[in-house]
Every structure is written in C-alpha cells, then in structure tokens.
Chain A
Amino acid sequence: MSGWKRTAAALLAAVLFAVQTALPSFAQENPAQTEETEILAGELTVYTQSKGVHKADAVLFNHEEILAAPHTIASLTGAELTSGDAGELIFRRGSYVVQISPDGAAEIGLIFQETNAVYLYGKESFTLEGMRTLPVNGTDTLLLPLEQTLYLLNAQWSCEGGCVYLYNAPETLWNVVGDVWEMYEDMPSPAEILGDSAGKKWGNSFKYGLLAFADEVSPKYLIPIVGDGSWGDQKLKEALLTLAEPCENLMGSLEDEARSDSSRYLSDIGGMADDLSTIGGGAASVAEKLTKSVTAWSSVKIPESISSTFSAVGFAGKMAKAIAAAGRFESWSELYVSQLKYLSTVKNEDYASYCEALNKAASSLSAEYGNFDKNLAQETMKAVFSTLGSTLFEKTPAGLVFSSYSLVHTFVEAYIPAAKTAQQAGDNASAALRLSDLSVLMKAQYAQEIVSAIQKGTLGSAQDVEQLRFLGSLMMTASAHSHDSLYSARRNLYLAGHPDADEDEIVQNAGDLISMEALGGKLVRSQTAVTRFEETSQYDGTLLLYGDFHNLYSEDAGSHREQIPPEYVQPKVSAENNGGNVVGYLGDVYYWRYGAGSFDSEGTFAYFPYQQAENELICRHADGTEDVILRAAGYGPIFVSGDRLFLQACGGGLFSVKLDGSGRADLGSCEAWAADEAAGTLLISPFGSDGGVSLLNAADLSVTPLSGEGSTFLLAQDGYCYYASADSSGSTPGAVLWRASLDGSEIVRLARAENTGDWASFHPAIEQVTVCGTEVYFSFGIYSGTAGMFQEGGIGCVDTQDMSYELCVPSGELGAEEFLVSKNGDETRLSYVSYDDGTGSYIGFWDDYPYRTFHVMTKKDGDSAWTSSPGSGMLTRPGAFLCVDGEIVRWNGETQDFETLIPKEAGFSFLDAPQGSEERLTLVTNLDVVGGWIYFTVEESVSTGEAFGWRPVYRRERTTLYAMELGSSEPIALYSC
C-alpha cells in the first residue's frame, strides 16, 4: 500500500498501544534562569460552555509566550489526553487525533473504528514552537504553546476584559468522516426491503435465511440491486421526489427520538450567547461578536421586522438562534436542488447504466422544478419568520433543527405538488429499494472522495471539503428516506389489517424481518448523520490548518481566533490543598504541630481522638525554616481565604487569624466547608440540627445566610461546594444533594434520595460525590449495627446541563459507598460495589481499604441503558489513601490508575490489613500533597492486650509528621510527639 498508509500504521501503533503513563520527562534542557528568562507561573481566566468562567493554569514565558500544560489544554478543549510508547502526547476529540512528539512535531490523523488510522494534512509539517519544560512551583513541567495547540484542536476563542472565551464545536467534519463505517452499518438492507417479495416467491424459510445471511455481509460488499436492470423512469423519479420531503415518520411518531438523537451533535451557540449575556461586562460584547462571527451563516440578513421583536435582555442569544435557524432553513432549501443537479451528472464506471437512469430522472426533475432557487427561498423564509415571531426562537437547538426542516419542506411541498405522490401512491417498498440503491451509489462516491480528501494532504479553502460533505449527506439522506419508506410500508400494511391500531401496537407488531424499533433506530441514526454533516459546515474554517500557522489569528466566520494578550496571564492567588491538614499559600505551608497531650493515649483500632490541648500553628517556608505563628487550642483542617487562616477549635467552633497569626477572631459554633481564596469568601455551616449554609466574607468577617438547609459537607471542586441535608418533606424520609457556587450566588437542589425496603423509614446519608463533566454522581445509603456496616444504598446521577436525574444503581443494590466514575471518549464507566459483591464497612485500622470484588457499568453517550460486568483490580473512593502490599497508594483520576505515594523503600512497616492481634502497629493517619511534597502522619502504637467488646485497644507510642518529595523515598521528619 501507499507510503501514507505505512506511516498511518505507525500512527496506529502509537495509538493502539498508548500507555497511560505520567507525562514523560523530555530531553530538552530547562532554560537557565538568566536575567533574560522570565517565567510567570500563573493562570488565565477562561470561559468554556461546560465550566463557565474559571481559572486555568498558564505560564507566561519571557513576557510574551503563553504556555499551558497538556492536561490543561485537554480540559479546555474537551479532548482526551494519553501518552504513547515513545513519549508522544496524544489528544483525541472523538476520531480526530493530534499527536505531538517530544521534539514538538505534530501530526494530525483520523481513527476509524479504533483499528485503523490515516494521516490528515500529510503535506503540511507542523512544529509547535515554544514547547518547553520549565520549573513550575518547584516541579519541572512540560508546557505547550497554548494558541498553537488550541488551533490544531479546532478551537475558537475571543478575548475581552481579561477573559479568554473559548468555543469548542461538538465536532467537525473530520469527526463525521471518522464515523463512516458506523454510518455504513445504518444503511438500508435490500434483504429487509425485499424480504416479503422473497417470501412470496420462495417461502418463509427462504426469506429468513436470506435475511440471516444479509445480516452477516460486510458493508464493503454492498452494491445497488436494481442498478443494472431496467428502471422505470417514473418510479425512479417518484423515489427521488421523496428526498424533497422530510421523512414522514421523523415528523410523526419518531420525532422525539430523532430530536434527542440529533441534539448531542448540535452546537448551542444561542445558549452560549445567552449565558455570556448574563455575565455582563466584557462578556456581553463577546456575545455580540459570537453571533456575528462564530456562525457561518452570518451573511443571512434577518428582516427588520424580526429583529425588532427581540428585547434587549437575551438579545444575543435570540439573535444567534435566529441566525442558526435561518441558516439551516436556507441551507436545506437549497440542498434539494443541489442534490438533483448532482444526480443529473453523476458517473461511476461500476454502475454505469444505473447512473444513466439516475441522470435522466434527476435532469427531468431539475428542469421541471429548477426555478426553486435561493431568492425564492429567502422571500419565503422572511414571510414564515415574520408570522412565527418569537415562537420559533425559544426552541432548543434540536427543536430548531426540526422546525427548520419542517418549514422548508412545507414550502417545498407547496411548490412541488407531485412531492406527495410517491407516498400517497402507497408504493413505499419500491421507493425504499430505489433509495437503497441510491445510498449505495453515494457510498461509492463518498468513499472515493474521502480518499481524495486525505490524499490531498492540505486544504486550500473550505470549498475543498464541500464535495465530501455533500456526498456523505446525500448518502445518508437516501438511507434515511429508504428506511422511512420501508417504515411507512410496514406501518400501512399493518393498519390495512388493523385500522384501529394505536402507535404502540403498530411498533410492537408491524415489523417482520426487522422490528419497527430497530428500523426506526436506523432511520433516526441516518437522519442524525445528515444533521451532523450539515451542522459541521459552520466550522469548516477550523479545518484550514497550515504548518506555518499563518492563519493562527483569524476573524473568519466559523474560525474566530484572537491573539491572547500576554497580560491576561495573571499570578495565581490560590491555596493548594485548601481545607486540608497541610495547606500551601503564597509559597508557604501551614500545619498544626501537636504534642503528647494533643491525643487520647489509648484508642480502639489504634485511633486516638484529639484532645483539648494547646497546639502550635506552623508556617513552613520554602527554604525549610519554620515559624510558630500561633499557639492555640486548634486542630485539623486549615482554610485560607482573603489572606486569613480559618481554623477549627478544639471542642468545636471556628476561629480565624491573619497569616502571621495575629488578629484572632472567634466565629462561633460552625464549621468551614469550602473557600474561594481569590474572592476572599468561605462557605460555612452552623452546628446543630438545623444546619444551613452561609457565606463568610474574609475582609470583614461578616456572615450572610444563604440557605437554611445543609448539614453534611461532601465535596468542593471547580468552584462549587456539594453538600447534603436530611429531608422529611416526602412520604418517605430522604436526603437531598445540593450544590452551591463558592461565591454563594447560586444554590441548586440537585437530587433527592430515599432508602427502600426495610430501611425506607430511615433517612439515607449521601456519602460520596464525584463530578464527571456535567454529571454529578453520588452514593447514598445507610450504616447500622455495632460494627457500623454499610447496609445498602444506591447511586444517583444528575446531569447539570438539563437537571435530568438517573438512578444508576437502584436503592438496595449498592453494597458500599465508594465508587469510581470516569469518562473515556464517549463512554462513561461506573465502578461500584454491588450488594452481591459484599457490604462495606469503616470499622478497621485504616480509614479506607481497597475493594477487590466489584462491578463495572458502562454506557455510551446518548444510550439509555448501562452494560454491567464484573470488575477487576481495586476500587476505592477518589482521594483516599490505601495500604497495598505495604505501600501507601492513592487513585489518580487523571491517569486512571493507582499511584504509589509512600513506597516500601521509605522504610515503614505498614501492614495492609492488621487483624488487631499485632503487638505493634504503624499506620498513616493523615496524608496531604502540597507543592510536589507529601506530608503524612505516621502513628506508632502498641497493643494494650485489652479489647472493648470486639474492638482491640492500642496505646499511642509516637506520632510523627513527615515530609517527602513526590516520587522519592526519603522522608524528612518534621516533628514527633
């Protein structure tokens, strides 16, 4: 095969054998920190649709180059990041891959069915200038040039008021092309269409045998059936006319399914513009820019009568939606004429006589209806929009697609009276077969065009992919209409014998060789493919990638990229591990130093509760020197906000001091939950059964109550705080999961959970929350008994985009509160301990143990059902540290693997699962990671020989706080008591 295919194999090898390792260290030397070299490790304020306005780590090099870590860029673009055998960085957005070698050379490719890869842009040579390894917060960090990498990943962005507004299209044409084999699987099956005819001719068993065989014929062997035979010209014309109509069943019983299936591929430019409009300030002008620049249909003029209906509020969003609707309407109204024109001249040597018949029929139609042109479509569009007014514009993107589709074809129907003929004639099977043949012919044309586009090796303009889109779209349009015709045929046949049948009965019984549900699915997916082709046209500008990056900055429609001002990179104002036992802030580290009297001397399971005692608050500097900044009865977690420290008092309560330990303020009987150190606020909750959430302002220590509900803190992440409260409002006691923004501006009730069965009369506890993209997963259940065993529970999930809720693991089926959820491409993976796997418990020497028997559920985007199978390996909750084979490990969510924090070489004698019969025990009681260092407390204890019931009692011997650089095995003892 050709050279490009051999090199594609190399790409394939790299992709198939990608090993998810930590980022490799690169051979490049770190630039000497001379006067000429300046590195600012800071952050950018960015906006993305998924996360809103947030901070992203960035580095400013020599005052002008903006760099970012690969995982940061992956997060900004919604790409999956892995690394290859040879240290390559591999970014994937679906089937689109950008692979960056350690020397900065970038290659772009397309992966088909995870088994084959081809190069795109073979004639371009991309090298990322400015790819470097620099010291960031004391750790050598690989950094990529931000703008160039975003460019290769088809991102668009605009800059305003110190914020970078990023827009990532759901997909581009390359992603659609990458799914070509999946689309082939949805094409019509002639055996399904002709099954009845075969049955009449040769009998039922022949019919079923034919279909069984057809099911196993690869799409590579598809050919037109009747292409070589004599064609009735009238029949062929009737089949082609159906392309002008919307699929009858998509506008009928399958409409909801079709909208839902298409929706995940539709960009919500209007929604984003709305979101930006509400932010205010610079964002509002970005919203205006967005509506003009991001959509490719900006040349469509909205009639004045329409624009005047928009009020000032939400104008940008409505404008974007209007432009999108108008663009789709215009695009689809022109499409049919273009399709006829193409079919009038299409040639293919293998199907020569078929093409002749097509040419003749399409020419005839084109001549007859050829004055259905752009101007007429626009005039009609204006009239339609002015009568509809705001009704259309409030619809969701998916709704807009279907409304536009319906509108344009209503117009077509009025203009071309014969368009209804084919369906009304009842000859659906004939149309289905002819359209099936058409789709196969288009498959051959499309395939040739894909090869041609790949071999071109570069794109001169967006027009270079126009033909590719056109052919693919026509292929799937023919496919959709073929399925639609067959669906109608089956439906009408059933109704002929059962005139009173309702839709459910028809779906249940009308199918024969293929169920109505399966046929409907193929129809919906074929239509979704058409939508994908059409929808991605607005982003063709982002496909124009060149090795010299000459169009890196662009204001072209659909590929808007502005130069990011270097001053947008600001120094970080953030605390590391805020709320942990060890917290880093502005280069210093803070922790409590305890004494002998700080703990109970004896405890069951070697757990020694804190006692009322005066402890020392330490500030440890980067050079290793330490200051005692405070002596007070405080312990445990430390929060930083607004240049103050917030500390937990022995015996309960919260108090605060300045960074030097002065200016103590007592804040009463409450606990801190989550800090926004940049904003200088802290979310707190009062003790007591009423609970509630308040916002504390660090500047003046004022407290503003936000909500009367909330008693259990669960998670603080990405600008939000998740917490739970007991709820007695329903007939069954429940627990409610809440989410509050760290600035207190937004509190949302996410979900309510209940126990079932014997535990229904008890309030469940929500135990663990994990955020995966826009989905919030949580486990709930009940602990009981003297051993404190987890009895049973469930796992729920809320999609914060539309607040839909799913009970992934029904109440009663969960065996432990710990679970893991991850997303790999379009597949979500949920690992959990089912009731059958065993029940979880927290009564033990370690806070957490790994589960080795558990289940894994997986689901693809858009699917409603999960697939469950036994899991293998270990499972624990994110953030927990475990003892495994004498080493302390923790789950790393980025690498999706366990990482060793304290290796055996560090010299501690940890036991995985102490039984309580051991004379001496060494345990880790706290572990925090700050600035590339692990701070961990090792507690050595001896057995007293006694027990409290079944619980063994130990006496504390020594407690030592160690610090150890990540990846090393040489701990430094900070203090012992």
Chain B
Amino acid sequence: MRKRSGRRLLALALCLPILAACCAGCADSGKEEAKLACEEFFASYAGGEESGLAIEGFGASEPLEGLQLQMAERLEFEVRDASGSGDAMQVSAVVTSVDLRQVLESLPDTVDSTEAAREALSAALADENVPTRSFDVDVTLVRQDDGWTVQMTPSLADALLGGYYSILREAAEEVKE
C-alpha cells in the first residue's frame, strides 16, 4: 500500500508542476493578447484611427482630425509588461508624444486669437523637429466578447495628448484653495 501511495503521490507531485505550467500558460496568453491589443491600439492611433478604444459601445470609431491627428502622427510607443488576470489587464508602456507645453510656450507673442493660434500650432506640429517627451503609462484593458479594448484613463489621455491635462491641472492650481 505504501509503495502504491508513494507512486500515487509521486504521480501527483509530477503532475502539479505540469498543471501549474498549464495555468501559467493560460494567464500568459491573456497577457500576450492584452499586450498585442495595446500595441494595435497605439499603432492605429498613430495612424489616425481610434480602433480598439472602448468607446462606450455606441460611439462611432472615427478618424482623428486636425491638430489631434497631427499630434497622433508623431506618436511613438513601446509596450512593456502586462499584469493582471481574468478580464482586466494592465499593460505598462512608454509613449513618446509631442511635448505640448513646449510647443505652446514657443508660440510667438503675435498670436492673439484662437484662429491665429490654430494656424501656428498646425505649423509647429508639422515641423520635423517638434519637441517630444515620454510618458510612462499603465494602460488598462478589459476583455469584451471577442477581444480586448482599451479604457480611456486620465494618464492615458494625458499621454496621447502630449501632456494637455497636466497643463490644465497646473493651471487649475490657480483656482483651487
């Protein structure tokens, strides 16, 4: 009996790492899928499309336009690690985007209207040497039926828009207590 028990225990002991390996594999495939979805999202955004964004399920995925498109076309990204399990994942990424603050600071003093600013901004964003900066972002993805979609979060929005929200937060300090 002991010998058989021993063999059974050994069999179980041998199986456990295999089982663990299988589960890790499942989790890994989810992470890989999430990373891939994240890459596809950034790639499509940089190409001027909003594919893969969880747009509340009823909004049209439309091409980007105007200044936001110009900014998106400058986007570079590097997807790093994924963490999480089940239907929610976090993927860390480094996003290099136009440094909006520097671009705004470099607008000439002659800009005295929104229309003039728009033209100047467009010209600045078209410049090959437009200043950029990097953002460390944790991208949140959720599983939806047949794929992963990216949730718009404050840090992601800030990165995609070149620090737009950071600027607003800083300006908001003036009106907070």
Contact = CB atoms under 8 A, between A and B. Distances in A.
Interface stretch (A70-78, A197-205, A558-566): A197-205
Nearest to B124: A209
Given A208-B112, A223-B154, A194 B58 contact: no
Contacts of B18: none
Given A209-B121, A350-B153, A350-B154, A118 B169 contact: no
B111 A433 contact: no
Nearest to A214: B164
A203 B109 contact: yes
B128 interface: no
Nearest to A447: B56
Contacts of A201: 170-171, 174
A790 B149 CA distance: 64
A373 B68 CA distance: 48
Contacts of A229: 169, 172, 176
B15 interface: no
Contacts of B111: 204-205, 208-209
A212 B114 contact: yes
Contact of B168 (A116, A225, A513): A225
A226 interface: yes
Interface string B32-70: 000000000000000000100101111110101111100
Interface in A462-491: none
Interface stretch (B6-14, B22-30, B99-107, B129-137): B99-107
Interface stretch (A1-9, A126-134, A573-581, A759-767): A1-9
Interface in B118-177: 118, 120-121, 140, 144-147, 151-154, 157, 160-161, 164-165, 167-172, 174-177
Contact of B144 (A2, A113, A232): A2
Nearest to A230: B176
Contacts of B167: 198, 210
A448 B68 CA distance: 25
Contacts of A212: 67, 114-115, 117-118, 121
Contacts of A5: 57
A684 interface: no
Given A203-B109, A223-B152, A223-B157, A113 B176 contact: no
Nearest to B68: A216
A1 B161 contact: no
Interface in A220-267: 220-221, 223-232, 234-235
B113 interface: yes
A687 interface: no
B17 interface: no
A208 B113 contact: yes
A829 to B, nearest CB: 25
How many A residues touch the partner, as a band? 35 or more
A429 B167 CA distance: 17
A455 B68 CA distance: 32
Interface in B73-124: 100, 103-105, 107-118, 120-121
Contacts of B169: 225-226, 228-229
Contact of B105 (A200, A202, A230, A429): A202
Contacts of B58: 110, 112, 116, 118, 180, 450-451, 454
Contact of A226 (B57, B160, B161, B172): B172
A97 to B, nearest CB: 14
A646 B101 CA distance: 83
Given A112-B59, A225-B168, A206 B176 contact: no
B90 to A, nearest CB: 12
B91 to A, nearest CB: 16
A369 interface: no
Nearest to A455: B57
B165 A223 contact: yes
A213 interface: yes
A191 B168 contact: yes
Contacts of B176: 226, 229-232, 235, 430
Contacts of B161: 217, 221
Given A1-B145, A216-B65, A197 B157 contact: no
Interface string A104-121: 000000101101101000
A231 B157 CA distance: 21
A203 B67 CA distance: 21
A197 B174 contact: yes
Given A223-B165, A447-B56, A213 B171 contact: no
A206 B157 contact: no
Contacts of A220: 50, 53, 55, 59, 152
A181 B145 CA distance: 25
Contacts of A194: 168, 171-172, 174-175
A110 B59 CA distance: 11
Contacts of A888: none
A3 B145 CA distance: 8
Contact of B114 (A3, A215, A448, A450): A215
A812 interface: no
Contacts of A193: 175
A194 B168 CA distance: 7
Contacts of A513: 114
Contacts of A215: 114, 118
B175 A213 contact: no
Contacts of B121: 209, 212-213
A218 interface: yes
A190 interface: yes
Contacts of A164: none
Given A3-B145, A202-B105, A208 B117 contact: yes
A206 B172 CA distance: 15
30 contacts: A1-B146, A1-B147, A5-B57, A181-B59, A191-B168, A204-B109, A204-B111, A208-B111, A210-B167, A213-B121, A215-B118, A216-B68, A217-B68, A217-B164, A218-B62, A218-B68, A221-B160, A221-B161, A223-B152, A223-B154, A226-B172, A228-B169, A229-B169, A232-B177, A235-B177, A429-B175, A448-B56, A451-B58, A455-B57, A513-B114
Given A205-B108, A209-B120, 7 more contacts: A1-B145, A112-B59, A115-B60, A116-B60, A202-B104, A210-B168, A223-B157
User: Nearest 6 CB-CB pairs, A to B?
Assistant: A232-B177, A447-B56, A197-B174, A208-B117, A205-B111, A212-B117
